[in-house]
């Protein structure tokens, strides 16, 4: 019998096409939500990635890597539709667009999830561009609402992208924030999500009154915020190769720690989040560290 899956991550998996200095393109599997799921599984949390990928070479690579990460394969769906692609024309400064009209991610079918999956789940995660893409966005919001009603904890990482600069997304975002128990947001996300807001963190807290907030600031570390309580954690110093996937790693590390060490103090969860992010920065691409690697860095 499969072991119970406690952490279910919903949202996009995609292939990043990154333009290289010489003009050629490099294809890398990714997607913010898929990255979070891989981190959770690699850190030993019983995790399922609930999303849909294509059945071509791009989707097949995502399927293989999903399995290699230790994710429960009952949650992944493959359909005969085109892949979702992110075309990254520049990394400095960031410039990108998405290709995915009627692509596989939009055909995720909640009715095909394993029987009784929500009974087993403890934390449901949502985020990034999946929440801008209909009909997927409405399906995911409905799952979050049902989960919250059934006593499940909701995790949300807005992970701002240009697609979110539209009124429909901001309505959905506010609904999801109201349901959320865990919200991860970077300093850059906060500025983009609430432009022209003199007190964006106060606004976020008001929209997610029950949530614990993980506020990340890159090399300046991260903070746990709940009401008027704040706990700070410095970033672990590593030789940075790139910062791809660091935010996803911090989110996955935070939630994995909460699931694995439920009685641990906040600072322990922050150390896990910071170490997971640092280990990702020390490798090329969105690296997902193991629990032993994270604990070694924390105790170093």
Q: Whole domain around residue 205: which residue ranges?
A: 7-289
What mean pLDDT do residues 251-266 have?
96
Candidates 184, 192, 230, 249; CA nearest to 211 is 184
Structure confidence at residue 77 (pLDDT): 98
Count how many domains the chain has: 1
Distance CA 159, CA 173 (A): 11
User: Would you tell me the crossing angle of helices 32-42 and 57-68 to the nearest 10 degrees?
Assistant: 30
Considering only residues 1 and 214, tell me which one the structure prediction assigns the higher pLDDT: 214
Share of the chain above pLDDT 70, in %: 99
Please identify which residue in the block is written with the tokens 């349901």.
179
pLDDT for residue 189 is more than 90: yes
29: in domain: yes
| Bigger pLDDT: 257 vs 94 | 257
296 located within any domain: no
CA separation for the pair 13, 15 (Å, rounded)? 7
Say whether pLDDT at 1 is over 70: no
pLDDT of residue 18: 85
Least confident of 22-36, 55-69, 126-140, 176-190: 22-36
pLDDT band for position 92 (50/70/90)?
Answer: confident
Query: Does residue 166 lie within any of the structural domains?
Result: yes
* Average pLDDT, integer, range 27-33: 93
Give the whole-angstrom CA distance, residue 183 versus residue 161.
17
pLDDT in tens, 63-78: 999 999 999 999 999 9
Residue-level pLDDT at 167: 87
- Residue 299, in any domain of the structure: no
Answer whether residue 51 shows pLDDT above 90: yes
Asked, for residue 1, whether it belongs to a domain, the answer is no
Q: Which pLDDT score is estimated for 246?
A: 84
Mark 267-291 as b/e (b = at least 16 C-beta within 10 Å): eebbbbbbbbbbbbbbbeebbbbeb
Q: 2 lies in a domain?
A: no
Question: Which of 34, 11, 32, 13 lies closest to 136, judged by CA?
Answer: 11
Beta bridge pairs of residue 94: 91
Is the predicted pLDDT of residue 224 greater than 60, yes or no?
A: yes
* Res 300: pLDDT: 86
What's the confidence (pLDDT) of residue 2? 66
Question: What's the mean pLDDT in 226-234?
Answer: 95
Q: Model confidence over 100-158: pLDDT tens digits?
A: 999 999 999 999 999 999 999 999 999 999 999 999 999 999 999 999 999 999 999 99
- What's the CATH number where 217 sits? 3.40.1190.20
Where does the chain have alpha helices with state H? 32-42, 57-68, 117-120, 136-149, 167-179, 187-193, 200-207, 246-260, 266-281, 291-299
Residue 239: predicted pLDDT: 77
Mean pLDDT, the chain, rounded, equals: 93
In the block, tokens 């409905």 appear at 142
Please, are residues 108 and 50 in contact by the beta-carbon 8 Å criterion?
yes
Task: Evaluate whether residue 202 is within a structural domain.
Answer: yes
Helix (H), strand (E) at residue 85:
strand 85-91
- Give residue 90's pLDDT: 82
Share of the chain above pLDDT 90, in %: 80
Per-residue model confidence (pLDDT) at position 275: 95
In a domain, 142, yes or no: yes
CA distance 223 to 265: 14
Per-residue pLDDT, averaged over 255-271, amounts to 96
Residue pLDDT, tens place only, 276-299: 999 988 787 778 889 999 999 999
């Amino acid at each position: 019998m499969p072991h119970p899956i406690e952490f279910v991550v919903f949202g996009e998996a995609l292939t990043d096409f990154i333009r290289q200095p010489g003009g050629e393109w490099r294809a890398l599997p990714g997607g913010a939500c898929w990255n979070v799921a891989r981190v959770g599984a690699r850190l030993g949390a019983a995790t399922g990635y609930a999303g849909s990928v294509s059945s071509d070479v791009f989707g097949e690579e995502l399927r293989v890597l999903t399995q290699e990460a230790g994710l429960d394969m009952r949650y992944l769906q493959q359909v005969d539709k085109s892949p979702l692609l992110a075309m990254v024309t520049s990394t400095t400064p960031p410039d990108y667009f998405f290709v995915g009209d009627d692509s596989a991610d939009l055909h995720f079918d909640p009715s095909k999830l394993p029987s009784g999956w929500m009974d087993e789940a403890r934390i449901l995660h949502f985020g990034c561009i999946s929440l801008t893409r209909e009909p997927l966005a409405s399906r995911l919001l409905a799952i979050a609402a049902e989960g919250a009603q059934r006593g499940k904890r909701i995790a949300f990482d807005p992970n701002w992208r240009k697609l979110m600069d539209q009124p429909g997304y901001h309505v959905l975002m506010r609904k999801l924030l109201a349901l959320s128990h865990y919200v991860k947001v970077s300093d850059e996300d906060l500025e983009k999500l609430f432009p022209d807001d003199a007190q964006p963190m106060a606004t976020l807290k008001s929209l997610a009154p029950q949530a614990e907030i993980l506020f990340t600031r890159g090399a300046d570390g991260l903070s746990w915020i709940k009401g008027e309580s704040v706990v700070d954690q410095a970033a672990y110093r590593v030789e940075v190769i790139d910062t791809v996937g660091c935010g996803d790693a911090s989110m996955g590390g935070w939630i994995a720690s909460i699931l694995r060490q439920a009685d641990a103090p906040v600072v322990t969860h922050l150390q896990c989040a910071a170490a997971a992010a640092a280990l990702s920065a020390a490798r090329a691409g969105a690296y997902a560290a193991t629990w032993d690697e994270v604990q070694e860095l924390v105790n170093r």
